[in-house]
Amino acid sequence: MKRKGKSGEIVLPDCPVPSPADQQLFRDSLSGVIPITPHGRIVPCPPRPPPIPLSRLRDEREVIHESLHDPIRWDEATENGDELSFVRPGLSRQLLRRLRRGEWVAQAELDLHGLTRIDAKLELVNFLFECKRRGIRCIRIIHGKGLGSRNREPVLKIHVRHWLMQREEILAFVQARPVDGGGGAVMVLLQSTTRR
């Protein structure tokens, strides 16, 4: 305990001196200990693990959830009963005509038959990523006509087209020609990955 001296300075109490018996007991308890030889190295602390970006992960989960549960935006072609087609704003509709006539050859295809909506969305995202990585420009996505689904409605057909419209790398898509799957598939044109 600290105490003040006569002049106001702080004086620490005297350290207790161990008795000779305590000193001998301490020496006896350390008799089998081998001292470590100094090696002169400094052992660094292990690096701290990187922080987990919980906020970013939460945002990504919310975006996926919102994209899966967005109301489907119907465009004029669907309302008129015509086949659904899409071309990115600012691009020529000539792309649609060329895609519809089969001038672009499908370099890869994805078959989503039998998948749930969530599984189909994940497969589509992974497939588009891989196509972009490999520089593939034209793909065919088989979503089926919905004949095996409840109420015989083309659930995946509607969702696949909606998801494609949300992706920036998609330039255009049209319903496939009968020889390529007709109403059960869609032909998609992707952005070029070459730098300009």
* Domain 85-190, CATH among 3.40.50.300, 3.30.1370.110, 3.20.20.140, 3.40.50.720: 3.30.1370.110
CB 193 within 8 A of CB 137: no
Where do the domains of the chain lie? 85-190
- pLDDT value for 75: 43
pTM flag (> 0.75): no
Per-residue pLDDT averaged across 81-105, rounded? 83
Q: Give the 3-state secondary structure of residue 171.
A: strand
Each residue of 34-56: pLDDT tens digit? 877 777 777 788 888 888 888 77
Q: Is the pLDDT of residue 179 over 60?
A: yes
What's the chain's length in residues? 196
Q: Choose the weakest-confidence range: 26-30, 96-100, 146-150.
A: 146-150
Strands 108-111 and 138-142: parallel
| Distances, alpha carbon 6 to alpha carbons 1, 9, 10, 34, 115, in Å | 16, 7, 9, 48, 89
- pLDDT value for 72: 47
Confidence of residue 8 (pLDDT cuts 50, 70, 90): low
